[in-house]
Amino acid sequence: MSEPHFNRIALIGIGLIGSSLARVIRAKNLADTIAIATRSEATLKRAEALKLGDSYATSAAEAVRDADLVIVSVPVGASEAVAKEIAGALAPGAIVTDVGSTKASVITQMQPHMPKHVHFVPGHPIAGTEHSGPDAGFATLFAGRWCILTPPPDTDPEAVEKLTRFWEACGSHVDQMDPGHHDMVLAIVSHLPHLIAYNIVGTAEHLEAVSETEVIKYSASGFRDFTRLAASDPTMWRDVCLHNREAILEMLGRFTEDLHALQRAVRFGDGKMLFDLFTRTRDIRRNIIEAGQETAAPDFGRPHEGD
Amino acid sequence: MSEPHFNRIALIGIGLIGSSLARVIRAKNLADTIAIATRSEATLKRAEALKLGDSYATSAAEAVRDADLVIVSVPVGASEAVAKEIAGALAPGAIVTDVGSTKASVITQMQPHMPKHVHFVPGHPIAGTEHSGPDAGFATLFAGRWCILTPPPDTDPEAVEKLTRFWEACGSHVDQMDPGHHDMVLAIVSHLPHLIAYNIVGTAEHLEAVSETEVIKYSASGFRDFTRLAASDPTMWRDVCLHNREAILEMLGRFTEDLHALQRAVRFGDGKMLFDLFTRTRDIRRNIIEAGQETAAPDFGRPHEGD
């Protein structure tokens, strides 16, 4: 199948995801022109200094004019404002997509504003790092990762197909899913892990008996693994929490219930329950490694001093 | 200061920590002879095939005979049995230490059995990976990491000093601490993170709405970070839970309290509380990286497909 090619791709938002897209679009020659828009003058200047696109604007409407693909990569809470801003400038036949971590909310925010002459195909690439901003992106961010599309039922199959081939050209595998199911899946694989990571770092910060210096010095014994997720972009994650509330509350409830059972096993010295849980959980990591979603190297392949 | 040298180091237990010790002792020439003991015939054979030592025994008593340094590296629940077994065979003046993750319990289990003519200096190297067994060890495991010694108040300072220099020769920084304080510190930096990681993997396993296949496919969005800790040795971690009960229950209580506050912020849409927490927690990671306990590379420096 031939690589998809666009005349003009508009990237609205140029953080980690947007700037990784700019780099892979250039590297794979997926568009003649890359138009970049972001509200922040400073970020726009930085994107220009990094030569991420062909044109730069603080107006999203200006960037999407004549674009045949528009990719919105902003915190999910800003989706409606962007939809309103670009609606009147979208070209007939344009594909409009996004990369937001919650899908039902993004659809509620954007779809009412989309003109009939465009194809709105919401999406979510399951890829990222804890770094943010236009400098953090890289062309291989999406390679080997999954991208989930959640097209409304009446979407033109050709538009979905073309966007699918776009993500495949970026190196991704593509799935389709109902938006509600997407939000439930992401609540357990992404949103709950981030919340828990943020939470334990907060707990560690407020101890009277253990100093922050001690937490830092001895963090290699486990704690530091959590700090990567807890270093993620605060605006993005605030918005995820506000826009996937029901699914997150459901997963938090289950997690806490299970944690209480575990706490009870610790309190009453139920070694069998502990051993059984600690044995079962090994399998999932092995399966994740076999699925190509994780490295088998110990310690994530972190460098060791003296290696 | 000259490198410490021992005539005979006995390693009781030859898993990840024991076998890493064997390798670094050999690499840095810290002993004339390395005597290895483990109860498992299969593990002992494997250690011999890997040429980790100079002598191999299933009897810990046999290994410690004439040793001037004995390092017990077994699950903490086995400490008393080892202490009883070796007590009668220990040479006068020998230093006996361990590497257990809990210190008050190990002292309670071992100290009553130690003869007056040996120096008992409990210790805990804050280093490890999720892999277990004699094949998992490597000589640089302790490089740049902290080792905490918790000598009883009346311990001969020369023995403590010699053991300190031993760990420094292995590449570690060495701290001294009260055993109770050690157990509280480790409860937050190590034991709670492991319990939470095991717990969330368990929660994910039991969902009706999300399949295990989905959890695996989309794990790169956060979940997979937790699976590393949840792949750690089940026997070791069962014993940690059973032998650091009070401190773990205290930390679990605080974590849950904080999580309820966070859950409430999600429920009532308190974006400011969420944003403030998510902003503060970034600092700790930066400090851990600056302290040399973590890599600054995104994603722990994991390899990316296509890099």
Q: Does A176 touch chain B (CB under 8 A)?
A: no
Over residues B162-172, the mean pLDDT reads 98
From the CA of A145, how many Å to the nearest CA of chain B?
8
In B, minimum Cα distance to A141 occurs at B304
The band of B307, judged by pLDDT with boundaries at 50, 70 and 90, is low
The band of B306, judged by pLDDT with boundaries at 50, 70 and 90, is low
C-beta atoms of A293 and B219 within 8 A? yes
Closest CA to B37 of B75, B73, B78, B90: B73
From chain B, the residues in CB contact with A126 under 8 A are 217-218, 220-221
The chain-wide mean pLDDT, for chain B, equals: 96
Strands (E), chain A: 6-12, 31-37, 55-57, 69-72, 95-98, 119-120, 123-125, 146-149, 173-176
The band of A305, judged by pLDDT with boundaries at 50, 70 and 90, is confident
**Chain A stretch 285-304, residues whose beta carbon is closer than 8 A to a beta carbon of chain B:** 285-288, 291-295, 297-304
From the CA of B246, how many Å to the nearest CA of chain A?
8
pLDDT reported for residue B67: 98
Is B283's pLDDT higher than 60? yes
User: Among B130, B193, B248, whose Cβ lies nearest the Cβ of A298?
Assistant: B130
Is A306's pLDDT higher than 70? no
User: Among B198, B219, B234, whose Cβ lies nearest the Cβ of A288?
Assistant: B219
B295 contacts B301 by C-beta, under 8 angstroms: yes
Q: How far apart are CA B148 and CA B144, in angstroms?
A: 13
In B, minimum Cα distance to A228 occurs at B285
From the CA of A218, how many Å to the nearest CA of chain B?
6
**Chain A stretch 38-57, residues whose beta carbon is closer than 8 A to a beta carbon of chain B:** none
pLDDT reported for residue A304: 78
Q: How far apart are CA B285 and CA A223, in angstroms?
A: 10
User: Among B222, B238, B260, whose Cβ lies nearest the Cβ of A189?
Assistant: B222
pLDDT reported for residue B271: 98
At B59, is the secondary structure helix, strand, or coil? coil
Residue B139 vs residues B20, B21, B72, B170: alpha-carbon distances, Å: 5, 7, 18, 8
pLDDT single digits (tens) B46-105? 999 999 999 999 999 999 999 999 999 999 999 999 999 999 999 999 999 999 999 999
Q: Does B263 touch chain A (CB under 8 A)?
A: yes
pLDDT reported for residue B1: 54
Is A1's pLDDT higher than 90? no
Q: What is the model's pTM?
A: 0.95
The band of B3, judged by pLDDT with boundaries at 50, 70 and 90, is confident
Over residues A73-96, the mean pLDDT reads 98
Q: How far apart are CA B287 and CA B294, in angstroms?
A: 9
Q: Where are the domains of chain A?
A: 6-177, 181-292
Q: Does A222 touch chain B (CB under 8 A)?
A: yes
From chain A, the residues in CB contact with B274 under 8 A are 237-238, 241-242
Q: Does B29 touch chain A (CB under 8 A)?
A: no
pLDDT reported for residue B303: 85
Mutate to test the interface with A, among B76, B215, B223, B295 (most CBs of A within 10 A): B223
Q: How far apart are CA A7 and CA B48, in angstroms?
A: 65
Is A124's pLDDT higher than 90? yes
C-beta atoms of B300 and A305 within 8 A? no
Non-local CB neighbours of A189 within 8 Å, separated by 6+ positions: A126, B204, B210, B214, B215, B218, B219, B221, B222, B223
Task: Tell me the percentage of chain B whose pLDDT exceeds 90.
Answer: 96
At A76, is the secondary structure helix, strand, or coil? helix
C-beta atoms of B218 and A245 within 8 A? no
Over residues A26-39, the mean pLDDT reads 98
pLDDT reported for residue A3: 79
Alpha helix segments (H runs only) across A99-156: 104-110
Is B205's pLDDT higher than 60? yes
From the CA of A116, how many Å to the nearest CA of chain B?
32
Q: How far apart are CA B7 and CA A50, in angstroms?
A: 60
The interface predicted TM-score of the complex, written ipTM, equals 0.94
Q: Does A93 touch chain B (CB under 8 A)?
A: no
Is A117's pLDDT higher than 80? yes
pLDDT single digits (tens) B9-39? 999 999 999 999 999 999 999 999 999 999 9
In B, minimum Cα distance to A199 occurs at B259
Q: Does B232 touch chain A (CB under 8 A)?
A: yes
In B, minimum Cα distance to A127 occurs at B221
Q: Does B280 touch chain A (CB under 8 A)?
A: yes
pLDDT reported for residue A91: 98
CA dihedral B278, B280, B283, B285 (to 10 degrees): -40
User: Among A191, A200, A224, whose Cβ lies nearest the Cβ of B288?
Assistant: A224
From chain A, the residues in CB contact with B200 under 8 A are 192-193, 196, 255
Residue B275 vs residues A67, A134, A237, A238, A250: alpha-carbon distances, Å: 34, 21, 8, 6, 21
The CATH superfamily holding the domain B6-177 is NAD(P)-binding Rossmann-like Domain (3.40.50.720)
pLDDT reported for residue A307: 62
Is B247's pLDDT higher than 60? yes
The chain-wide mean pLDDT, for chain A, equals: 96
Over residues A221-246, the mean pLDDT reads 96
pLDDT single digits (tens) A247-288? 999 999 999 999 999 999 999 999 999 999 999 999 999 999
Name the amino acid, one letter, at A104: A
Given 3.80.30.20, 3.40.50.1980, 1.10.3660.10, 2.70.98.30, which CATH number is that of B181-292? 1.10.3660.10
Query: Tokens standing for A90?
Result: 């979208």
In this structure, of A303-307, B131-135, B146-150, B190-194, the range with the lowest mean pLDDT score is: A303-307
The band of A40, judged by pLDDT with boundaries at 50, 70 and 90, is very high
Is B304's pLDDT higher than 90? no
The band of B168, judged by pLDDT with boundaries at 50, 70 and 90, is very high
C-beta atoms of B284 and A212 within 8 A? yes
User: Among B175, B255, B275, whose Cβ lies nearest the Cβ of A234?
Assistant: B275
